[in-house]
């Protein structure tokens, strides 16, 4: 249990902001790239010993206040009946994506069997990090997962799923609903295995018009998030003018992308805890600029209910010294 991370997620005043980085375990670390020479991505994800080692690499290096389990937002697709693999230069590719309403799954395989490697990973982490470090679990959100299930691969503007929605609104709703059920169970399973905080990454749901987000996605986000026995964080990009829609899901923490101004977010969200939101490209500007811009984010957020993070995942070419400067800036604060 991370005192600092969990307390900030609950909206408490903290002596300094807790800090972690989305995608902190990954390609920007030379020790990760070295390990990945031996194991491919999905092999690393599904082997608890390796996944634990990767999860702890940034902890060994930076000592952030949270370790985010090394995994993939798409793992939950497998119990839903979609096999996928990673294609170099493309990203995830689903073997048999949904073409017709008849392809929408009606059920999913038991999470504790199909995703047992996630439980084992969390069990391992629980024994390896101290009380003061939070273990962060996560899952993809229903829109984001459905986009891969329908398009079969990364797409610009998620057109295949949006077309599917326009042509087959009922099947679209059914698909989101079964995915949401699986995600809810998966996040609870993670908490049972020691996740102190969980983050729902429905990164792409902001591609929907506001009325569609409210009609189709928000009720599912609410269903998922209110069922979890741990603090929850919700990340959806491109929601700048409509952060209140995210708060209305009941998420304990609203994770802000880098295109939102922190003081505007505070205005829109009142005392709802927030996470974020330094532009990850600032990490290419050198440690001095990183420190300056990070302090600006921390000061705009204030001393209550703020988890310092980037507004998006760490880019793979990010210099180590910039990440160090980012974490150290949070740790140097004394409110």
Residue 23 designated active-site? yes
Residue 72 designated active-site? yes
In this structure, are residues 145 and 215 in contact, taking their beta carbons and an 8 Å threshold? Answer: no
In this structure, are residues 20 and 66 in contact, taking their beta carbons and an 8 Å threshold? Answer: yes
Q: CB 38: neighbour CB atoms within 10 A?
A: 9
Q: Which of 65, 72, 202, 252 is catalytic?
A: 72
Q: Which of 10, 36, 293, 295 is catalytic?
A: 36
Q: Which is nearer to a copy of itself, 110 or 210 (CB)?
A: 210
User: Closest separation between CB of residue 279 and a copy of itself, Å?
Assistant: 5
d(CA 76, CA 69): 15
In this structure, are residues 141 and 203 in contact, taking their beta carbons and an 8 Å threshold? Answer: yes
Residue 148 designated active-site? yes
Q: Which two tokens stand for residue 115?
A: 């995703």
Q: CB 271: neighbour CB atoms within 10 A?
A: 10
Q: Which two tokens stand for residue 260?
A: 């939102």
Q: Which of 32, 84, 148, 189 is catalytic?
A: 148
Q: Which is nearer to a copy of itself, 112 or 155 (CB)?
A: 155
Binding site for a copy of itself (CB under 8 A): 157, 159, 162-163, 165-167, 169, 206-212, 238-243, 258-261, 264, 268, 279, 281-285, 289, 311-312, 315, 317
Q: Which is nearer to a copy of itself, 66 or 206 (CB)?
A: 206
d(CA 162, CA 143): 10
Q: Which is nearer to a copy of itself, 131 or 166 (CB)?
A: 166
Q: Which two tokens stand for residue 20?
A: 């972690």
Phi and psi, residue 76, nearest 5°: -65, -15
Q: Which two tokens stand for residue 68?
A: 């985010």
User: Closest separation between CB of residue 320 and a copy of itself, Å?
Assistant: 16
d(CA 259, CA 34): 33
Structural Rg of the chain based on CA atoms: 19
User: Closest separation between CB of residue 163 and a copy of itself, Å?
Assistant: 5
d(CA 16, CA 217): 34
Give me the residues paired with residue 307 across strands.
Answer: 275
Q: Which is nearer to a copy of itself, 238 or 304 (CB)?
A: 238
User: ∠ at Cα 66 (44, 192), nearest 5°?
Assistant: 70
Q: Which is nearer to a copy of itself, 240 or 302 (CB)?
A: 240
Q: If DSSP codes are grouped into helix, strand and coil, which group holds residue 160?
A: helix
Residues annotated as catalytic are: 23, 27, 36, 72, 148
């Amino acid at each position: 249990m991370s005192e600092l991370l969990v307390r900030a997620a609950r909206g408490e005043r903290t002596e300094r902001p807790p800090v972690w980085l989305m995608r902190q375990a990954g390609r920007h670390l030379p020790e990760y790239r070295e390990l990945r020479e031996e194991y491919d991505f999905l092999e690393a994800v599904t082997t608890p010993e390796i996944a634990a080692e990767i999860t702890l690499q940034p902890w060994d290096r930076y000592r952030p206040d949270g370790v985010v389990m090394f995994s993939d937002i798409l793992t939950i697709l497998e119990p839903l009946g979609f096999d996928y693999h990673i294609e170099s230069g493309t990203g995830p590719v689903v073997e048999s994506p949904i073409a017709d309403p008849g392809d929408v799954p009606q059920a999913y395989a038991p999470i504790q069997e199909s995703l047992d490697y996630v439980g084992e990973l969390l069990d391992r982490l629980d024994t390896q990090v101290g009380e003061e470090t939070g273990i962060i679990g996560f899952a993809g959100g229903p829109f984001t997962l459905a986009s891969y299930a329908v398009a079969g691969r990364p797409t610009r503007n998620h057109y295949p799923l949006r077309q599917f929605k326009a042509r087959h609104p009922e099947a679209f709703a059914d698909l989101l609903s079964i995915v949401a059920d699986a995600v809810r169970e998966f996040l609870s399973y993670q908490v049972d295995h020691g996740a102190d905080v969980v983050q729902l990454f429905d990164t792409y749901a902001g591609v929907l018009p506001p009325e569609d987000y409210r009609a189709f996605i928000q009720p599912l986000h609410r269903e998922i998030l209110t069922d979890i026995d741990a603090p929850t964080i919700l990340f959806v990009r491109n929601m700048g003018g409509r952060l209140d829609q995210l708060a209305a899901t009941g998420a304990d923490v609203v994770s802000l992308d880098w295109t939102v101004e922190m003081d505007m977010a505070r205005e829109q969200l009142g005392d709802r805890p927030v996470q974020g939101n330094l532009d990850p490209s600032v990490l290419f500007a050198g440690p001095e600029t990183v420190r300056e811009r990070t302090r600006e984010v921390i000061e705009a957020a204030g001393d209550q209910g703020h988890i310092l993070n980037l507004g998006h995942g760490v880019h793979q070419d990010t210099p180590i010294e910039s990440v160090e400067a980012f974490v150290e800036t949070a740790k140097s604060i004394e409110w």
